[in-house]
Structure 1
Amino acid sequence: MKSTVCGNARLSVAPMMDWTDRHCRYLHRLMTAEALLYTEMVTAPALVRGGAVHLLEYNPEEHPVALQLGGSDPVELARAARLGAEAGYDEINLNCGCPSDRVQSGTFGAILMRTPELVADCCKAMRDAVQTEVTVKCRIGVDDQDPERVLPDFIETVAAAGVTRFQIHARKAWLQGLSPKENRDIPPLDYDLVKRMKRAFPHLHMSVNGGVESLDEAEEFLNAGFDGVMVGRAAYHRPWDILGEADARLFGAAPGANTPEDIARAMLPYTEAHLTSGGKLHQVTRHMLGLFAGRPGARLWRRVLSEGASRPGAGPELIEEALAQVEQGQAA
């Protein structure tokens, strides 16, 4: 199946639990028209058994946007994929990388690295159910597995089910003895192994994920032969640094005229609409805290939003107040 978002996957923002919700993605889309955005992981049981289709809601402005699913039952994942395709997502992604306890208890996430045949069955069922492209995000291995042996076997087995795009987190997932937070830094990243996988499977589209901190690093990976780079925490905590120049530097688009101040102002009507529909201000502004990271006034910006967003009656004017503080700090 021909992908419609391969080009956009040159840079993507990783799916991150509790972070990349629809408000976060809308903010990110204001900074980049090109990069591929991912939802938080949505579990297939929640959609199919729990009827939680509200988890699929998104703003049309977010396109291109991919839905990441969690699960391990082929029939259930096929139904969930169908719901995602009907909702209009540009890609359906299977999570084979998350190491948290709650996904292990559901027998999905990184634990699926142990059962590539099951992953292949899941992907085939999803591909049979939808026309939308099905992709896989995985680790290089888990626990005591030998990534040098496990990863190529995993890729070969899953690719045989028709998957042609992989996002590979270059760190082994440690499911026993380390917390997910500790697993962010331990064990070390193995980019060289992922590079070897790209050379071993040149026909597959591969994005590298894990520890990418800047557009300079992203360009280095692309120049090294990767098809794409997926950025996680850096894109969340310093969104302007990663996304503000991405279209010009990585996609060859004309440089944008936007600034972080422009982005903050562009969020005002969106925030007003969210409040009018019954939402809370902090649900939006919590994703905006890093907008001025590393710039004059950043601390005042964070303080105003953090301290005021949960107060009764708080509205878009708080964003304007915080922006005024930033501009005063820049002028000082």
Structure 2
Amino acid sequence: MTRVRFAAAAALSLALSSPALATPPLPEAWQSTLNRDNPLVGKIWSVGKQAFVTPEALAGDIASARFVLAGETHDNADHHLRQAWIVSALTEAGRKPAVVFEMISADEAGALKSYLAGTPKNASAMGKALKWKERGWPDWAMYQPIADAALAAGLPMAPGDLSRETVKRFRKEGLGALGKGIAESWGLETPLPAAGQETLKQDLRDGHCGLLPEPAVEAMVPVQRARDASFADGLIANATADGAVLIAGRGHVRGDMAVPWYLRARAPEASIRIVAMVEAEQGQSDPADYLPAPGVYDYLWFTPKAERPDKCEELKARFGKKS
């Protein structure tokens, strides 16, 4: 996109945006430090309208959807603050959706229920109750604003992921690890489109920095598909009259192969909105550069990039020790 077209799209954004709603205040300061000077930072790009929209317009649109999928980069605190904003914006619009978390597996369902039964005033101790740190997720303080927003509005919260035992059993049992009839009811016996299948494989390769042998990639595909189907089931099973929100990694909310694919198969009448939190990269100021494929997301919400160690170097060191 040329600069002229980019500017024109920005100028038209108000005219093209959805009906605005009163919304909660946005976070006052960025938590992440890299690429704050990228002109995209803080802006929301509507993929369908090919224009920037205001937070109020975004709130107006997602308030009409049964399922809202908010995709993140796990260790970016700004992404979680905007996920919390989405939850609050929905409640201010009069919605009371359930909030389903990728990060909470079926193993923690009892602990989550017990914690919520204590009617906590905030979620400060929720991470400890769910063994958040022990299970390897980024600092609970990053995720707490989402849970606090849900608690403040009295929204139900629910796990989305498979149990650890189920994932282990996949090695021997494949889809049978889910239990009788589950794979069929979740849509897992229907193959992904060829492009989606290959994209999923490439994501697994890239996510492991090209270090996995191809048989290992092939073995991980059904597990990854089952996790996406589990998240979709969590949304359907826990949805209130006002639907549900998913908090998950950005790859899990891709419309072409992940959670939305299973939702459309099982609930074709349900409206879905996909909001992807995206880290702005140095020298990339065209929103089109951040779309991996057409129809993957409905909105891109740009933030600075979080500082992090080189994951591939860490993986290389880990694989080297194992070898």
TM class, shorter-length = under 0.3
- TM-score (normalised: structure 1): 0.25
- TM-score (normalised: structure 2): 0.26
